[in-house]
Amino acid sequence: MKKLTKRSWAEPYKMKMVELLKMTTRPQRVKAIKEAGFNTFLLKSDDVYIDLLTDSGTSAMSDRQWAGMMMGDESYAGSRNFYHLESAIQKYYGYKYIIPAHQGRGAENILSKILIKKGDVIPGNMYFTTTRLHQELAGGKFVDIIIDEAHDPNNEFPFKGNVDLEKLDKIVKKYGAKKIPYISIATNVNMAGGQPISMKNLKDLRAYTKKLGIRIIHDMTRVAENAYFIQQREKGYQTKTIKEIVFEICSYTDGATMSAKKDALVNIGGFMATNEWDVYEEARNLVVVYEGLHTYGGLAGRDMEAMAIGIEESVNDHHQRARVGQVEYLGHKMEEYGIPIVKPIGGHGIFVDAKAFLPHLTQDEFPAQALAAELFIDSGVRTMERGIVSAGRKANGENYYPKLELVRFTIPRRVYTQAHMDVIAESTAAVYARRDKIKGLKMIYEPKYLRFFQARFGQL
C-alpha cells in the first residue's frame, strides 16, 4: 500500500465547455512546418495539437467574464465598463490614472513617446522585445541592469528578476540622472524565464531612485505570478495574500504598462497607468491618435468588462497556486527525463536550454528555432524560440548574441490538463533521445522589426 506523503493541489474550477482539437499525423506536421518556413509563428493553429506558443491572449475566461461580455456598454464615450475597469485597477493595483489600450504594446508606444527624449537611457531588468523597440523608436537606448544570475540557466537564485543596483549606479554616474526618464521594471521577467523580482530589491530600488528623482515604470504583465513567488519564497510574506503583495509591488512604482492578455485573463486588452497628472494628460492626448478615445483605447466595452473581472480573479490565491503549480508539474516531469531547463522553474512556462539540448549547433545555426520545429514535428506541440532570433539586431545591424538560447513552453491559463502536461514532457523526452540527429537552420527571410514573428528558415 502506498503511504500518503503529500496532499495535491487541483484547479479551483471545473469545465463547462470544451474546444475540440484536430489530431494530425507526422507527415502532415512535416509538411506544415516546411510551409511555415520552420517558424512556429507561421503555422496555422488548426495544425497544432497543444499550443504553447504563448500565454498571451490564450487563457480561458471564466463564466463570470463571459457574463460580463454580455454586459458590454458599446457607447463611443464614457462606457460604464471603462469605469469598472478604472475602479478595478485603482482597487487592486493602486494606480491613480489609467488609459486603456488594445494590448501591452499600444500602452508602451504611448508611454515611451511621452517620457523618452532622443538620447535618453532606459535601464531595465532585462529587455522585452516590444518594450525595448518602443523605447528605441522614441529615441532611447535600453541598458540591461538585471543581476548576472539571470543570464545563467542553471543558477537557482530565487529572485533572478532582481536589479543589480551597482550596475544601475554605474549607468547613472555615466549618463547622469537627467538622461534617465525612468527605470523599466518587469515583474516575473519574461525573457529570463518567468523569474520574479523580490520585494526587498524593489524597495531598495525605490529608495535609490527617490533620491535622484527617477521614476520606476512597471511592466506588470505578470505581476500576480511574481506575487505568488514572493509569497512562497520571501521572508515575511508567507502570511500575506497575493492581493496584498500585488498592491505593495505597485506602490513602489510610479506608473505601469500592462498586457492584460496574460495575468488578467483576457483574450485582448491592456492599459497604461500613472500617478502623475501631467503624464496622464499627455497620454489622453496621444491615445486618441493611436488607439481610440481615452475611455476605450481600442477596446470594445465588453473587453474592458472582461478585463475588470479578470484582474479580480487573477489576484486570487487559489488561482495562482494552481496556475504556477501546473507549470511546476511540467517542469519537474522534464527534469525527471534529464531535459535541461531554466531553473528555478518560472511562472508562465518552462524554458528549455537549447544550447545544452543541442550542443553540436552553434548559435548562428538557430538551435532554439530548430528545436521548436522538431518538437512540433514530433507531437504537434507548438513552442517558441527565445534566443538569437528573438534578440534581433542592434542599431548598427549586428546581431545580438543573447546568453540565453531558449525554447519557451508557455502555458495558457486554465486551458490544458495534467494529461496534456504529460504528453508535452514525453514528446520533449523523445526528441531529447534523438537530439544528435537534429540539424541547424539558416535564415532565408528576415523582416525589419521583431523578426522572430515572421522570419523564414530552411534546413542546413
Q: In this chain, which stretch among 91-99, 125-133, 223-231, 370-378 interacts with ligand F0G, using CB under 6 A?
A: 125-133
Catalytic residue among 47, 219, 254, 263: 219
Contact between 392 and 450 (Cβ < 8 Å): yes
Distance in Å, CB of 449 to ligand F0G, minimum: 13
Contact between 99 and 135 (Cβ < 8 Å): no
Distance in Å, CB of 175 to ligand F0G, minimum: 24
Other Cβ atoms within 10 Å of 217 Cβ, number: 27
Q: In this chain, which stretch among 68-76, 100-108, 241-249, 275-283 interacts with ligand F0G, using CB under 6 A?
A: 100-108
Catalytic residue among 222, 261, 262, 355: 262
262 has catalytic annotation: yes
CA 176 to chain centre: 30
- Judged by CB, which is closer to ligand F0G: 172, or 191? 191
239 has catalytic annotation: no
Q: In this chain, which stretch among 103-111, 161-169, 303-311, 360-368 interacts with ligand F0G, using CB under 6 A?
A: 103-111
Between CA 33 and CA 40 the distance in angstroms is 7
- Judged by CB, which is closer to ligand F0G: 195, or 363? 195
User: How many Cα atoms within 13 Å fall on the side-chain side of residue 54?
Assistant: 17
Between CA 250 and CA 218 the distance in angstroms is 8
Contact between 179 and 119 (Cβ < 8 Å): yes
- Judged by CB, which is closer to ligand F0G: 103, or 379? 103
Catalytic residue among 129, 187, 221, 410: 129
Binding test (CB under 6 A) with ligand F0G, winner from 40, 130, 314, 320:
130
* Under rule CB under 6 A, residue 131 binds ligand F0G: yes
Between CA 310 and CA 313 the distance in angstroms is 5
Pairing verdict, β 381-382 and 50-51: parallel
Between CA 269 and CA 257 the distance in angstroms is 11
Question: Which residue in the shown chain puts its C-beta closest to ligand F0G?
Answer: 104
Pairing verdict, β 270-274 and 255-259: antiparallel
76 has catalytic annotation: yes
Distance in Å, CB of 97 to ligand F0G, minimum: 20
Determine the length of the chain.
460
Per DSSP, the residues of 223-282 read HHHHHHHHHHHSTT-TTS-HHHHHHHHHHT-SEEEEETTSTT--SS-EEEEES-HHHHHH
What secondary structure, in 3-state letters, does 144-210 show? Answer: ECECHHHHCCCCCCCCCCCECHHHHHHHHHHHCHHHCCEEEEECCECCCCCECCCHHHHHHHHHHHH
Q: Which of residues 44-83 bind ligand F0G (CB under 6 A)?
A: 54, 56
- Judged by CB, which is closer to ligand F0G: 137, or 430? 137
Q: Which amino acid is at 3?
A: K
Q: In this chain, which stretch among 1-9, 83-91, 102-110, 235-243 interacts with ligand F0G, using CB under 6 A?
A: 102-110
* DSSP designation for 365: G
Q: To which residue does cell 507526422 refer?
A: 26
6 has catalytic annotation: no
Distance in Å, CB of 213 to ligand F0G, minimum: 25
Q: Which phi and psi (to 5°) does residue 168 adopt?
A: -65, -45
Distance in Å, CB of 255 to ligand F0G, minimum: 14
Q: In this chain, which stretch among 97-105, 143-151, 301-309, 364-372 interacts with ligand F0G, using CB under 6 A?
A: 97-105
Q: Which of residues 190-209 bind ligand F0G (CB under 6 A)?
A: 190
Catalytic residue among 240, 386, 408, 413: 386
What stretch of H or E contains 294?
Answer: none
* Under rule CB under 6 A, residue 186 binds ligand F0G: yes
Per-residue binding string, ligand F0G, 210-249, x by CB under 6 A, is: ---------x-x----------------------------
Burial class (CB in 10 A: 0-12, 13-18, 19+), 211: exposed
- Judged by CB, which is closer to ligand F0G: 84, or 218? 218
Distance in Å, CB of 14 to ligand F0G, minimum: 28
Pairing verdict, β 121-124 and 141-144: parallel
Residue 348 DSSP SS3:
coil
Distance in Å, CB of 71 to ligand F0G, minimum: 24
Q: In this chain, which stretch among 77-85, 101-109, 326-334, 422-430 interacts with ligand F0G, using CB under 6 A?
A: 101-109
What stretch of H or E contains 419?
Answer: helix 418-433
- Judged by CB, which is closer to ligand F0G: 103, or 428? 103
Catalytic residue among 97, 128, 237, 357: 128
- What are the catalytic residues? 76, 128-129, 219, 262, 386, 452
Residues that bind ligand F0G (CB under 6 A): 54, 56, 103-105, 128, 130-131, 186, 190, 219, 221, 259, 261, 270
